[in-house]
Structure 1
Amino acid sequence: MDAKEADGWYDTALPKPPVPSLESTLDRYLEYAAVVAVGQKASLAATHDAARNFVRQATPLQEQLLEISEKSLNWATKFWLPEMYMRVRMPTPVNSNPGYIFPKVKFESKEDHLKYTALLTRGLLQYKNLIDTKQISREKGTGAQKLQMCMEQYDRVLSSYREPGVGEDTQIRKQKTHEGNEHVLVMCRNQTFVLHTRINGGLLPFADLEHQLKKIEEISLINQNNATKIGACGVGPRDEAAIFWQEMLTVEQNSKSYEWVKSALFVVCLDMEDPVDYGANDTANVAEKEKEFILRGYHTLTGHGSQVFGLNRWYDATIQLVVSSSGVNGLCIEHSTAEGIVIINMAESAIRFAQQYFKSKMVWNDVRNVHPKSLTWHFSENARKLLTKQTATFDELANELELEVLIFDEFGKDSIKKWNVSPDGFIQLILQLAHYKTHGHLVSTYESASVRRFGCGRVDNIRANTQEALEWVTAMTSKTTSREKKLELFKAAVQKQVKVTLENISGYGIDNHLCALFCLAREREEVTGEEIPSLFMDPLWSEVMRFPLSTSQVTTSLDIPDCYLTYGAVVRDGYGCPYNIQPRRILFAPTAFKNDRRTDLQHFKKSLSAALRDVKQLLSN
């Protein structure tokens, strides 16, 4: 890549997102509200009354938004990031942080464990080097136009940190240091260490990383009985995490240690002496494999709770590389910085590097005299109480998380394409049918839609709970509706799903627009006392804007099998459901909260399988 190409990696000429019209957004909002109202058995009268006044009430807000759009690189991200992440006060584990589970590795010894960890670490560091020197190919969209994508998230993924604050968190952007010194944070036996990765601009060789990891493991073993579980610092509600740090940072040594943490590229979590039996081997059947996938998912998301590895973590870091002595490994991700595809591309590069050299007999010499640094912390009595309180919240979340995995191997993307259906649209309708089979109604559904064709673009929301989807799922569960009618309604639902998808990726979705208008209305009320538009106060608004079904397509490379991504439901009475559509199978990783009787994850999983078979039968004849 020449200098000119490198300069264009973050193309400032990428278009700004458009601002949809009030009328267009309102019309589509009312479509979704009507579907939600059916499930809520709610009247739409008040909603339509509010809608009649909305354009008049919101016009000043729209004019203000148009002014902001002229001055901002991306008006949507400006409002979306605080509302989606920074102002949310719930704990980030389970509620917000997804887990990307890597293929399990067989370790014969502690040396294998440390070697593979060092290789993955080196793989991530090399990928960052490619980012810093702009050597990663510019991404293009998958559509017919092959539009260039904004690469800004790549620049952020290993240079950002989420710092808790009272009322609102802060996303810290670290200075680029690839020409100076760099380090990562290592968690081992609930202790914190600095592992040096670059000195005076030079990336340390693999042998130095492995040497430092060995030293860290040795020191942590000696001190394991004296360790206060500092990893609990970010596992509770965000205000509690912020108050903890206010208390801690009155001590100068804590401030110094905290700066080392915040400036780390990422975190390596060395999980030693894993007590969990993960079961499945190479000859396991599908049910056994699903069980093993589930256990690996729990390990990556929660570390099996505070008494196992759950606090051998640092949840405010964007990337936590988790590697267990059992061979379970993956990433726990703080999601405010980047979307899944960016992180998966980086992770797959590291996995390939580690797999290439793990069984190699190559001797890694050239160990410099580089030693890791142990970070020290001083805790007041109040700080310890705050840690204990956060730990209790975390364990409640970890215990309530219910994760399932469905490996559906009866067909996959190849068959769906033969039926002339968009694979993603197909699965979104499957999810609607599965929810309807489980609960008898549809709910607001979230599917992230990349808007990286715009500068600094993140996502908008493809809502699959359309009127067309409702008519189709109703017909599919009816014993009197003909196959021809079901097929007709399916085609209409697919066409609507394609239309909604195109609207969103083109910048004309409704969620970012409504989010911005709502934020501006709230700010105006605080400053002037002027009333918020009545649509935002309508009881149905809160139901339309919450997501009991939160979904995303997660595509991984076929040369790295048995990996998947999962995350918790975003509301207590809902499901999280990422999915991976492969050529001959489809993998789902749905979640819910065990203690909420409004959900039934086992029933939902069975409904997914049943829905897939029903639609196959519908399309195959």
Structure 2
Amino acid sequence: MAEAHQAVAFQFTVTPEGIDLQLSHQALSEIYLSGVRSWKKRIIRLKNSVITGVYPASPSSWLFVVIAILATMYTRSDPSMGLIAKIQEHLPVSQSMSTQCQAVLSAVVFSTMLWLMLIFTMRLCLKQLLSYHRWMFEQHGKMSNTTKVWVALVRIFSGRKPLLYSYQGSLPNLPVPAIKDTVKRYLESVRSLMDDTQFERMTKLATEFESSLGNRLQWYLKLKALWAANYVSDWWEEYVYLRGRSPIMVNSNYYGMDFLYVTPTPIQAARAGNSIHSFFLYRRKLNKEELKPSRIPGTVIPLCAAQCERIFNTTRIPGEETDTVQHWQDSDYIVVYHKGRYFRLRVYQAGRLLSPREIEFQIQRILDDPTAPSKGEAKLGALTAGDRIPWAKARAKYFSSGVNKRSLDCIERAAFFVTLDDDEQGMMGDDPAASLDRYAKSLLHGKCYDRWFDKSFSVVYYKNGKNGINGEHSWADAPVVAHLWEYTLATDSFQLGYTAEGHCKGEVDSSLPQPQKLKWEIPAECEEQISQSLAVAQALADNVDFHVFSFREFGKGKIKKCRVSPDAFIQMALQLAYYRDQKRFCLTYEASMTRLFREGRTETVRSCSSESTAFVRALEGGEDDYRRLFRAASEKHQLLYRMAMTGAGIDRHLFCLYVVSKYLGVESPFLKEVLSEPWRLSTSQTPPQQLELFDIVNHPEYISCGGGFGPVADDGYGVSYCILGENMINFHISCKHSCPDTGSQKFGAQIKKALHDLIQLLSPNQKEPNKTEDGQQEVKKDK
């Protein structure tokens, strides 16, 4: 029990000769170094708070202003127009101070006030500049003079070398759309999904809502928008995620995959060593705010970074009515699951981060540990995979004190969770397509008890060296976790690397303490609840039908040559594929970010529009003008996407109006019906964010397969796609076996066919469309 002895700083015993005091110098050294590390982090946070607080100016600019004001005073001019003299009169200083010193001190006070006023003015100007979004609606490659001036001003007011959170105070608040605009856009979005009778009824409900209750609810919403940083995000997190009482596994959590064609090392412990070290390098950059602020690709426009704050040391805590997201400032360890045991693995020793080789050494110790799981420990994680209310009750009853509380606290406070899986996954074997499907299901739900689904993210390392990540959804959206995952994959393979034998590089400190196995005392009643939660989770997992494939016939390179947005192209292909699969259209959800605004998260793009349905019907019906209709549909989709990004979406506004109605205790038939409509086709794109980390041209094998999520509706599909390089699009398709009308494999085949049909429709050998007077495009018929 050497590690237990090292954990005690001192011991003493009372003897006839007096008190025998024994100090553990190693333990005291650890305490001292831990304190030093903690204070260093506090100083860094304080320094960054000052730098961020005065951005886009810099702290050194204060000295420049002071010197400039003092210099003008010595030239016997008064730039303050008498304010310095006024300050000097009311300055509460000792009479012993000379007049000259009082004048200098007054000048410094005035300079500071002037400096703060300049900062406020610059931030206000930048905020107003970032509120301008007309640039998004201009034709690609044709920038107006107004936008050119705007870009120049944004560069001027953006300052130099921003930290991660430098722009937070300058981002505009999400605007509240007008009721009439939202209702009009909603009715337009559902017109093609309803017959005349249904649409007439819905129009009547919408008109009644707009003219009566809607204005009252809107007033409360505008009042909230005046004082809240974002009128949507807190309610979205609370009511969409945290108040959900069904399992978060499959229903909410999502996953990300490893490299598709490459496994950097076949050694499980080595892959974990490099990867875990990379995660903590990212956390170090995050704490120091050294990560570059995310921006709209190809622009200087920053995106909100508020979600980054809770990447590490964060856990979703179950409650009977609602869950909560708990975040801790720091933790120097992770929790590792292997063969039914939980281990606490410290990644810092003597104040330094363990090297990849040392982490590999510690992981291998866990893999070699022959200890059996405690009674009830092996499948404990199933509690986080089942329904939330039973988990909340079990947590309060069995994990609120004693050894169970200490072990649970250890898991929940860990930087993140790690699973050492005994399976082998990846694209392998005689049937690589089927192996990818198994890989996706493993990352989404595993065995339903070998992941801790409440953690902000869990990392899975497989026996053959493959890995993957599972993210909890309430605290942040997928792009935040994807940014972390990209950095980790690139650092693991390109920066840290491996030896010829496949091990991590570096040396090992042999004095490292053994990873500490967590202790549990699980009563029989709790074991029964674990079994019940596992049964619920297993039934849910078994019902998931998943299909993953890489489409390599063409990619965004060929699509762009057809003068079409790749995202619009894929969305039209999905509409065509769904119509061919189900013989109908459905309400379609495409996730769009609203991080142009402070604390922005997502908005819905309703991809199934009147234009898209008209195109699909024309194509399937053999009509001649389907090419013109395709152009109109893709342009409409781009317009809807831009409107969603710029705060003019439909669904978040209606959602918040519904929340207000519930607070006021009033019923709205219109809102109730809108919020109950099922999203049978839920889609999301996960574009690469840090292309500079990967050389896809020279090393195309080093690409991730992207990630995916479970189906949203029992009779619907979940589709995630990732556009990689110029010639690849990866698709992740999910549905449920219990629905006889859906199938991930058959829908995947329909998507492939739709992609081929659309590219043939737009192929360069076709005559280019001409512009008509009203700006619409039409195609000359082939002779």
How do residues 203-282 of structure 1 correspond to structure 2 at under 5 angstroms? 203-219=353-369, 221-224=370-373, 227-272=377-422, 274=423, 280=428
Letter in 2 for 1:127: Y
1:66-97 C-alpha deviation (Å, 9 max, x unpaired): 11111111111022112321112221111111
Distance of aligned partners of 1:168 and 1:412 in 2 relative to their CA distance in 1, 3 Å threshold:
same
Could you tell me how far 1:500 is from its partner in structure 2? 0.5
1:296-318 C-alpha deviation (Å, 9 max, x unpaired): 11221122x3xxxx422111011
How do residues 116-515 of structure 1 correspond to structure 2 at under 5 angstroms? 116-142=271-297, 146-175=300-329, 177=330, 181-198=331-348, 201-219=351-369, 221-224=370-373, 227-272=377-422, 274=423, 280=428, 288-303=431-446, 305=447, 310-356=448-494, 357-360=496-499, 362-479=505-622, 481-482=623-624, 485-515=625-655
Q: Are 1:533 and 2:668 matched, yes or no?
A: yes
Could you tell me how far 1:262 is from its partner in structure 2? 1.2
The answer as to whether partners of 1:9 and 1:151 remain within 8 angstroms in 2 is: no
Distance of aligned partners of 1:217 and 1:8 in 2 relative to their CA distance in 1, 3 Å threshold:
closer
Letter in 2 for 1:24: D
Distance 1:448 1:278 in 2: 27
1:132-190 C-alpha deviation (Å, 9 max, x unpaired): 111111111126x5311111222211132111111211111222x2xxx5111111112
The answer as to whether partners of 2:425 and 2:462 remain within 8 angstroms in 1 is: no
The answer as to whether partners of 2:379 and 2:449 remain within 8 angstroms in 1 is: yes
Moved more, 364-373 or 433-442: 364-373
Distance 2:683 2:333 in 1: 35
- Structure 2 SS opposite 1:465: coil
Distance of aligned partners of 1:107 and 1:541 in 2 relative to their CA distance in 1, 3 Å threshold:
closer
Pick from 735, 741, 748 the counterpart of residue 592 of structure 1: 735
- Structure 1 SS opposite 2:198: coil
The answer as to whether partners of 2:163 and 2:292 remain within 8 angstroms in 1 is: no
- Structure 1 SS opposite 2:177: coil
Distance 1:588 1:8 in 2: 33
The answer as to whether partners of 2:549 and 2:730 remain within 8 angstroms in 1 is: yes
Aligned to 1:518: 658
| Aligned residue pairs, count | 588
The answer as to whether partners of 1:521 and 1:533 remain within 8 angstroms in 2 is: yes
Distance of aligned partners of 1:51 and 1:107 in 2 relative to their CA distance in 1, 3 Å threshold:
closer
Distance of aligned partners of 1:72 and 1:345 in 2 relative to their CA distance in 1, 3 Å threshold:
same
The answer as to whether partners of 1:208 and 1:368 remain within 8 angstroms in 2 is: no
- Structure 1 SS opposite 2:676: helix
Distance of aligned partners of 1:340 and 1:64 in 2 relative to their CA distance in 1, 3 Å threshold:
same
Could you tell me how far 1:8 is from its partner in structure 2? 4.7
The answer as to whether partners of 2:655 and 2:675 remain within 8 angstroms in 1 is: no
Letter in 1 for 2:389: D
Distance 1:10 1:266 in 2: 27
Distance 2:643 2:343 in 1: 47
- Between the two proteins, what is the percent identity of the paired residues? 26
Moved more, 203-212 or 443-452: 203-212
Q: Which runs of 5+ in 1 are unaligned?
A: 526-530
Pick from 87, 100, 103 the counterpart of residue 243 of structure 2: 87
Aligned to 1:528: none
Distance of aligned partners of 1:107 and 1:19 in 2 relative to their CA distance in 1, 3 Å threshold:
closer
- Structure 2 SS opposite 1:507: coil
Letter in 2 for 1:223: A
Distance 1:171 1:35 in 2: 40
TM-score normalised by L of structure 1: 0.90
Letter in 2 for 1:331: I
- Structure 2 SS opposite 1:12: helix
The answer as to whether partners of 1:251 and 1:378 remain within 8 angstroms in 2 is: no
- Structure 1 SS opposite 2:372: helix
- Structure 2 SS opposite 1:547: coil
Distance of aligned partners of 1:150 and 1:410 in 2 relative to their CA distance in 1, 3 Å threshold:
same
Could you tell me how far 1:367 is from its partner in structure 2? 4.5
Moved more, 97-106 or 14-23: 97-106
1:364-395 C-alpha deviation (Å, 9 max, x unpaired): 23344333221112222221111101100111
Distance 2:490 2:562 in 1: 34
Distance of aligned partners of 1:508 and 1:80 in 2 relative to their CA distance in 1, 3 Å threshold:
same
Could you tell me how far 1:230 is from its partner in structure 2? 1.1
1:505-530 C-alpha deviation (Å, 9 max, x unpaired): 101111111110001101111xxxxx
1:520-548 C-alpha deviation (Å, 9 max, x unpaired): 101111xxxxx32231244x6522xx311
Distance of aligned partners of 1:123 and 1:600 in 2 relative to their CA distance in 1, 3 Å threshold:
same
TM-score normalised by L of structure 2: 0.72
Pick from 545, 563, 566 the counterpart of residue 708 of structure 2: 566
The answer as to whether partners of 2:167 and 2:302 remain within 8 angstroms in 1 is: no
Pick from 18, 30, 39 the counterpart of residue 187 of structure 2: 30
Distance of aligned partners of 1:589 and 1:470 in 2 relative to their CA distance in 1, 3 Å threshold:
same
Larger radius of gyration: 2
Distance 1:398 1:260 in 2: 27
The answer as to whether partners of 1:161 and 1:171 remain within 8 angstroms in 2 is: yes
Distance of aligned partners of 1:290 and 1:397 in 2 relative to their CA distance in 1, 3 Å threshold:
same
Distance 1:137 1:65 in 2: 34
The answer as to whether partners of 1:205 and 1:366 remain within 8 angstroms in 2 is: no
The answer as to whether partners of 1:211 and 1:367 remain within 8 angstroms in 2 is: no
1:308-329 C-alpha deviation (Å, 9 max, x unpaired): xx42211101111100103331
Distance 1:277 1:21 in 2: 50
Letter in 1 for 2:175: P
1:407-466 C-alpha deviation (Å, 9 max, x unpaired): 222211001100111111111111111111111222111111111111111111111011
Letter in 2 for 1:415: K
Distance 1:372 1:549 in 2: 45
Q: Are 1:71 and 2:227 matched, yes or no?
A: yes
The answer as to whether partners of 1:576 and 1:592 remain within 8 angstroms in 2 is: yes
Distance 2:166 2:358 in 1: 32
Q: Point out which structure has higher relative CO (alpha carbons under 8 A, 6+ apart).
A: 1
Distance 1:535 1:514 in 2: 10
Letter in 1 for 2:684: S
